[in-house]
Structure formats: structure tokens, C-alpha cells
Structure 1
């Protein structure tokens, strides 16, 4: 019996609203057993579960009990699906399956094991070279999202999980279509990482995500300065977080700019590999 089939499986959270209560090992959604609750938002909550079909841990997102029939809770899950469905990228979580039309809609995603950047920054300093690599990976993750007309809009240290030295950009619940309008007086994003035009509720643009990556790098550098390579990366961050969005580089240009801040002793990439170009253009290139 899944959560949807139960009638009294809730308790009151710290915010005074209910959350689901599911015992470890009990069915959570079809083919997924509950492990533990990962986090609670205003409308949805996230659970760590075990999927026997995949034989792997997964993340399950579903509305909170009092939000099950609220259109905005369902819309948040729908934005995750719209952003991630069909995308296979090393710096984005994989979407496994979903049922947005169920009585209790849900989304099942890859579990990205690791520490979030917020936690890492609280525990240790990150060298400028590692910060540049992190920024390159985040900008790379934005490319397929923007290609399908979606902006993330909540690039923050809390939404960056570092797994085996690789950054993964998570939580697409705040994503919006490029060019769409934000609700008047209710800007999307997190204060301190939202661009000035986002806070002004201007239409959604790719430049807002560029600013978000720059703000994350700015925070990373603030706990590192001074250090080798910090000055070059700080100059790049200044360009990414320019107040005027028209003066910020595009995502591809920003990726090139930040990648130039990588240390000279970088991973063993082939000489012809460039961050924003296909490494092999033709068979002759081999």
C-alpha cells in the first residue's frame, strides 16, 4: 500500500503544516520503498527511497499532504519533468519516471550522493582552481536546459551537490520557460543569488542563470581569497554578475571565460578538446 492509498500517515512539521510519515521499508510510490525524508519545501517534500527495479537508491518528490490537490504543487513537479525529461548530462540528475496524473503525483529521480556545496563551504576552503572547475561544470549543465527553452532560476550552493569531485545541479522545481513572466511581486529564486532583474520580476532570461553561477563562485571565492588563481576567477565572476544583464556573457562565452581560469595542470584531456566544442569534428581528426 503506497502513500496514496493510506488515510492517516501524516504529522505536523516545524512550519505547522503536515508532512508524510512513511516507515522505513514501506511502499512510498509504486516500486519504491521509503528510506528517509530528505527535505521539506512549502509545497513538496523529497524522500530517499529504494527502487528494486533499478536496484539503486532514488529521490522521490511528491506534494505535501495539504498540497496534493493544489495546482501550484503539481506545477512544481511538472517543471522538474519538463526540464529533465530526456536529458542525459553528467552535471544534471537523471529523471527515471513520473506520474503527474496520479491521485498523488510524484517524480522519481537519480539520487546524487555527496555533500551540497553549502555544507562543503562551511567545512573547508575550496581552491580557486577547483572553484573554476565547479563553475565550468555548472555552466555546462545550463546548456541543455537553455537549449530546450528552460532556465533553472535557483542556482545556489544548496542546489549544487558535489559527487566524486563533480558538481551536479539539482532541484529544478523553480525552473521556468525562457521569456515567461514571473508573478508580480513574487520573484523566483533565492535572495543573494538572484540577479537584479529577477528580483525586479522581469521576464525570465538565460542571463539570470549566468548571474546565479557567478554568485555561487563569488561565495566560493569569498572564503578563499587570496590564493593562486583567485584574481583571474574574480575577474570572471565580476563579468558573470554584472548588474546589467545585457553586458553579461552568454552561457557558452561564460564557460570559455571560466574554463580559462582552470589550473595549468588540468585533467589529461586530449589537445584538441575544448569545453564548448565537440572534440572530434571528423574522422580525419583522429
Structure 2
């Protein structure tokens, strides 16, 4: 049943105990749980309307009345609503006002970059640069709408037919907004020094995290791409540098400039 719960093995708190085939919010049916976060959990579901798989992200049982759980889901709807970029998943439904707050998002089929690196080893420098050249425009589109992702890392990059898609927008914040005092947003090791210092949200934070992700992907960030880790990188210059570093893998003609 929809209200059945169990206990998470990691934090000992409640999770939904939805059996395969159970009818879920948004006109969907449960297939499998994909992951459990602090405030919400993520499920692979079957959408009847689309007759295709989708991803349901729902507040955990003990969080359904917590305003921060709803706020986190609404950050994702703000980031995904109206998106046209192919490296960002589509928002399919906004159920944040429902009894069990949820969002329904396009399912991106493929391994994460973290899994790919673990299974097949490091990328070459040009391959990593190509990856960055495909991800940075998605971040720039988000920045153009006044938002930053704030959690770019290999676990949040899914490779769909070899092309990266950036997922998990629960940490997204408005550019210029304040971070919680003493509680920086993002993941240690990928967050910039400014982000870890809880400075106001900036686009530069995403470029730094992208740089750290690419460095992990190929072992060491080439000198030509070190500008991603600069305090105030220029997105257009970074995009040009990534395309140039991709060499023969360059994803657009040389005469095109950002």
C-alpha cells in the first residue's frame, strides 16, 4: 500500500516500503527504489501517461509535513521547469502540494560518470574536455535563469548513450542568495573554497565543481583548463578552452565561438 513504511539501513529513519507494481503518486507504478536522501527518496517508476519509465522523487515518510522537504523539491522544479537543454532532464510533473510531496522527472538511462570511471578507468584528456564542453552549456543555461546547481560531481552526471546529463537539482539556489550559516551546500571535495566558506551563491561555484569533476575523470586537469578553478572564471572563455582541449573530439566547428 501507498502508506506502508520500513526503516532505512543507514540512518534508521523511515522510508517508503512500496512493493513493485504498487500504484504511486503522479499516475505511476513502483519499479525499484534508486536511492535515499536526507529528506526524500528516489524511485524508478512506470508512467502510465507516457507509457515509459520515469523518476519519482518523494518526501520520506517523516518529512512529508516538513517545510524543508517541500522546499528542496521546489528547488528542483524551479531549476527544471521550462528547461530546453538536452543535458538537463525534463520535469514531468510537480506534485509538491500533494499529501506526499513529490516531483516526476525524466528517466535518464545509463551509468553515472562515477560508475563509468570505476568500471573502465580514467578518461583521456580530450574525452574529459569533451565531457566538460557538453556539461558547461547546461550550467550556463541554468545560470542564465538565475540559478546555480551547487552539487556538480561524478555521481550526478549520467551518461546516456555516451553523452552527459546533469541530474539532482535539490541543492540548486538562486545566484546571490545566502547559504545556511556554517552549513555549506554541496559535496566536500567538489565544492569551491568560496562555497565551503558559505559565501553567497555564484556561477563560479559550479565551474569550480565542474573542474574538480573533470580532474577526477582524467586524473589531472590540463593547464589549459585550470581557469575552471579560478576564483572568478569566465564561462565563455572556459567553454572555448574546453572545446579546444577536446581536439579532434571538438563538439562544434572551430568557427563557432561562445
TM tier relative to shorter chain = over 0.9
State the Cα deviation string for residues 57-97 of structure 1 (Å, max 9, x = none).
Answer: 00000100001111111011000000010112110111111
Is the alpha carbon distance of 1:265 and 1:67 closer, same or farther for their aligned partners in structure 2, counting shifts above 3 Å?
closer
Q: Give the alignment partner of residue 152 of structure 2, picking from 151, 155, 162.
A: 155
Task: Work out the CA distance in 2 between the residues paired with 1:99 and 1:266.
Answer: 40
Shift in Å, 1:271? 6.5
Match of residue 11 from structure 1: 6
- Map residues 12-27 of structure 1 onto 2, 5 A cutoff: 12-14=7-9, 15-27=11-23
CA RMSD of aligned residues (A): 1.5
TM-score, with length taken from structure 2: 0.95
Match of residue 241 from structure 1: 229
Shift in Å, 1:194? 0.2
State the Cα deviation string for residues 1-22 of structure 1 (Å, max 9, x = none).
Answer: 7x3xx3xx11000210010011
Task: Work out the CA distance in 1 between the residues paired with 2:140 and 2:77.
Answer: 17
In structure 1, stretches of 5+ residues that fail to align are 226-232, 277-286
State the Cα deviation string for residues 227-248 of structure 1 (Å, max 9, x = none).
Answer: xxxxxx5113322113xx23xx
> What's the secondary structure of 1:42's corresponding residue?
coil
Contact 1:20 1:65 in 2 (8 A): yes
Task: Work out the CA distance in 1 between the residues paired with 2:58 and 2:217.
Answer: 32
Contact 1:182 1:202 in 2 (8 A): yes
> What's the secondary structure of 1:115's corresponding residue?
coil
Larger radius of gyration: 1
> What's the secondary structure of 2:222's corresponding residue?
helix
TM-score, with length taken from structure 1: 0.86
Task: Work out the CA distance in 2 between the residues paired with 1:165 and 1:257.
Answer: 21
- State the number of aligned residues: 256
Worse overlay, 154-163 or 22-31? 22-31
Moved over 3 A (4+): 269-272
Q: Give the alignment partner of residue 76 of structure 2, picking from 62, 76, 80.
A: 80
Match of residue 128 from structure 1: 125
Shift in Å, 1:264? 2.3
Establish whether residue 259 from structure 1 lines up as the match of residue 243 from structure 2: yes
Task: Work out the CA distance in 2 between the residues paired with 1:137 and 1:170.
Answer: 14
- Map residues 204-283 of structure 1 onto 2, 5 A cutoff: 204-222=201-219, 234-242=222-230, 245-246=231-232, 249-264=233-248, 266=250, 272=255, 274=256, 276=258
Is the alpha carbon distance of 1:75 and 1:153 closer, same or farther for their aligned partners in structure 2, counting shifts above 3 Å?
same
Match of residue 170 from structure 1: 167
Is the alpha carbon distance of 1:266 and 1:145 closer, same or farther for their aligned partners in structure 2, counting shifts above 3 Å?
closer
